[in-house]
Amino acid sequence: MRIQLSPTLLLAFALALPGPNQRAQAQSNSNAGNPQATQSTGPMSVDLEPLQSPQKTNFWDGDDPNLVNLVTHPFANKKYVQRLTRPIKDRLNELDELTSANANAIKDVDARAQHGLQLASEKTTLADAHATDASTKAQSAQQAAIQASNRVSAEEQRVGSLDQYRASALTEIRFAAGQSLLSKNAKDALDNLAAPLKDQHSYVIEVRGYASGHGQSAIETSQKMADSVVRYLVLNHNIPVYRIYVLSMGDTPLAGEAGTAKHVSGGRVEISLLKNDVVNSAQR
């Protein structure tokens, strides 16, 4: 049966054996004890002092450490190892603290940067909203200004057209000599003239009375005939008085053909309806 030895036992056994240096040291020590052995056998003998072996100051000064020194050396001591590695651990701890501080600083800077970006984005959005609101208000103000300008232009046109009336109808009423009463035919003619004027605006009725005779008596007669026409229009058709203009022409001659003037025989009233089409179209 083969006996197996562990590598640890072999290493311990090898370290326990004396090495060449130790044998040489032992031999030199024996020679030092025997003075005769140190003398040479040559023709001349010289007394020499024995060599001193170097003093070991550390475990690693020896070439062949033994098991005892290996076990009792400070490297095998836990406290010695801790004492040598403590500065390294301290430096590592300092590096960890610096790394942690730098990481916290980076996180803080990143958080502040993100907060600043968020605030800048919110302010940008708010500024865009204000700009859009201002643009909308500016457009509304511009539209209101355009509408006001259009209304002013329309009102200016209306004001400029207030006196632009034109004759749209002419009605003639005949009276017997010395009479101022309206006949049935005269009333029918006035009805046809006044009926379409209901609920209308921007019109004027001009009444001109003519009478035969001379001087003041003709003027008074023409005034009475014109007043009969105005009274009928106001009472029967509710024509406002301020829309009627009365002229007593007396025996003023009428313009005849070829520019010749002729006097009227009897009584006669001319009624002209004047309308302002520009104002009527604006009111519609």
- Interacting residues of 209 by C-beta distance below 8 A, sequence separation 6+: 221, 222, 223, 224, 225, 226, 229, 246, 247, 248, 249, 267, 268, 269
Tokens encoding 80: 């010695």
**7 lies in a domain?**
no
Are residues 156 and 229 both part of a single domain? no
Radius of gyration of the chain (CA): 72
pLDDT on residue 157:
74
**16 lies in a domain?**
no
Mean per-residue pLDDT, 250-256: 71
Q: Which residue has the tokens 């004047």?
A: 274
Higher pLDDT, 276 or 189: 189
Are residues 279 and 186 both part of a single domain? yes
Q: How many domains does the chain have?
A: 2
- Interacting residues of 231 by C-beta distance below 8 A, sequence separation 6+: none
Are residues 155 and 230 both part of a single domain? no
Does residue 209 carry a pLDDT above 80? yes
Domain boundary among 138, 160, 182: 160
The span from the CA of 185 to the CA of 153, in Å, is 46
- Interacting residues of 19 by C-beta distance below 8 A, sequence separation 6+: 63, 64
**43 lies in a domain?**
no
Are residues 172 and 150 both part of a single domain? no
What percentage of residues in the chain have a pLDDT greater than 90?
31
Domain boundary among 104, 127, 160: 160
Give the CA count within 13 Å in the CB-facing half-sphere of 223.
6
Structural domain that includes position 249? 166-253+264-283
| Torsions phi, psi for 164 (to 5 deg) | -95, 80
**103 lies in a domain?**
yes
Mean per-residue pLDDT, 47-74: 56
The span from the CA of 176 to the CA of 180, in Å, is 8
Domain boundary among 160, 176, 203: 160
Are residues 156 and 205 both part of a single domain? no
For 139-161, the pLDDT digits (tens) are 999 999 999 988 888 877 777 66
Are residues 182 and 277 both part of a single domain? yes
